[in-house]
Structure 1
Amino acid sequence: MRAIWKGAVSFGLVSVPVKLYSATESHDVSFRQVHQADGGRIRYQRICSIDGEEVPYSEIAKGYETEDGEMVILTDDDFANLPTTSSREIAVEKFVPSDQIDPMLFEKSYYLEPENTGVKPYALLRQALQDADRVALVTVALRQRTSIAALRVRETENGDVIVLQTMMWPDEIRVPDFKVEPGEVKDSEIKMANMLVETLAGDFTPDDFSDDYAEAVDEMVKAKIEGGEVERTPTSTKTSGEVVDLLAALQRSVADAKKSRGEKVPKEAKEAKDEGDEKSKGKKSKKAS
């Protein structure tokens, strides 16, 4: 890992010299647009929409488009006068309960490593966060722009590490422009839904999940490189598209989940599953005839 920023966390009169590392990396599958005939990469030209001429990088500027479509061209001098900051301080503003921060506000995560002279104050801040069971709300200047962020402690294979999570500004969270009606559900449906939740309850273990798409693409590419044929495998269970009774579907889900775990299936769930299975057999026999 390579440090992308150096500075210091300050809380009260305590200063903690730290290095900042990106805590995440994307494994998204990316493709390039190529010429199907020979595999050559497709290149794009920078064409001006007004005169139709190709524009060199030296003549490209930043433009801000207003709501009425006007384009305002900004120069380096304009940006020099903006209220940016190059401060190397992560200033703790307050310590707040973690449940007061909407998870939607979190943007990107970074690990904080103490410099040699900051090991003791780093341990002090880490212990204070753990004992208080709170997160530190901070301001930090990254890429010349001040952001709000949260400091919390994360348990890792190499010990407990302080994590800095940059946050979006509250007005950057969009409000849905649609309304969800409450709907009417029966007590029996709620009861069975709760039973399904309890049946599928468990602890979150990240290793239980994998990126099937990325793995499939990787295998497909390897097969093509080796000159083998690519075998298509189903990626999801197809449904018949029929509208089923909500309660019956929940009951069958509970029965299937409990059966797969070797647990006793509730009577009402077993009856619903048997009834559903019989209906499925009946439809298959009609299709066969």
Structure 2
Amino acid sequence: MRAIWKGAVSFGLVNVPVRLYSATENHDVQFRQVHRTDGGRIKYQRVCAIDGEQVSYDDIAKGYETPDGDMVVLDDDDLADLPISTTKEIAVDRFVPAEQIDPLVLDKSYYLEPDKSAVKPYVLLREALEQTDRVALVTVSLRTRMTVALLRVRDDVIVLQTLLWPDEVRAAEFGVLDEDTPTVKKAELEMAHMLVESLAGDYDPDAYTDDYEEAVKAVVEAKLKGGEVKKPVEAAESEGEVVDLLAALQQSVDRAKKARGEAAG
């Protein structure tokens, strides 16, 4: 694994230098859109929905769409004063009981690895979390945005899990549940308890397989063995794309020269 972030966990006067690693990866089957006859990949152009013209990267701005459908165009000056954070500190705000964290608010997960010189305070924090059955609520800056996260322990490793903001969790508003609650008979409830007990057991992740992924791989393998493989020839880039690239490079050079006080070419 390769570290995606370096910083330090701070709690009280203790500072633990750490590296951050993605704890999960997506193994979903990914399909490409291709030309049916020769297997060539389908490319898309950046086209304005209003005038139909192809747009270069230099003419692309950020737009914020309002609930009414209006579009507000923002440039670099508009975004210059936004509260961007570049701190490399994972600051512990408080330690809270683990059961107070609703699993629904958990977002992305990362492993924390300590520097060799910080193994002892790392273990100290790990043991404190495990023995008190608490998690540490922290703030951390990832990709220039400050977010709330928690620290917990998994297999002797401290895990950082970012949390969704409260307004990112939808309310479960089902009209059918607002109606009169049906009465559950005692015999029905007892039978339900019996069913639960008959299916009770421990979670074994190896007991479950991704049938869809395996089936797709089997189909692909069969086609490979049968010689049904498309080997598309890489097409040369169109002149329009080359011009755009050259123009972008030239503008970058000109800007660099201008910043140095030199005449643009």
Aligned counterpart, 2:36: 36
How far did 1:85 drift? 0.5
- 4+ residue segments displaced more than 3 Å: none
Partner of 2:98 in structure 1?
Answer: 98
Residue 228 of structure 1, CA deviation: 8.6
Return the alpha-carbon distance in structure 1 between the equivalents of residues 31 and 182 of structure 2. 43
2:233 alignment partner in structure 1: none
2:172 aligned to 168, 173, 176, which one? Answer: 176
Change beyond 3 A, Cα 1:184–1:37: farther
CA-CA distance at 1:53 after TM superposition: 0.3
Establish whether residue 132 from structure 1 lines up as the match of residue 132 from structure 2. yes
Q: Match of 2:165, as an amino acid?
A: W
Distance 1:101 1:56 in 2: 46
The alignment's C-alpha RMSD in Å is 1.4
Q: Distance in 2 between matches of 1:68 and 1:211?
A: 42
User: Which structure has more RCO (C-alpha within 8 Å, separation ≥ 6)?
Assistant: 2
Distance 1:186 1:42 in 2: 59
2-side partners of 1:187 and 1:33: how far apart? 56
Note the alpha carbon deviations across 1:61-91, whole angstroms, 9 max, x for none: 1100112222111112222210110000000
Structure 2 distance, partners of 1:228, 1:217, is 17
**Matched residue, 2:2:** 2
Q: Normalising by structure 1, what TM-score?
A: 0.75
User: Could you say what secondary structure the match of 1:3 adopts?
Assistant: coil
Structure 1: distance between partners of 2:222 and 2:66: 50
- Offset from partner CA, 1:99-139 (integer Å, 9 cap, x none): 10110000000000001221111111111111111000101
Counterpart of 2:187? 188
Identical residues among aligned pairs (%): 66
Unpaired runs of 5+ residues, structure 2, are: 229-265
TM-score by length of 2: 0.82
Distance of 2:86 and 2:67 partners within structure 1: 31
- Alignment gaps of 5+ in structure 1: 230-289
TM-fit CA distance, 1:33: 1.2
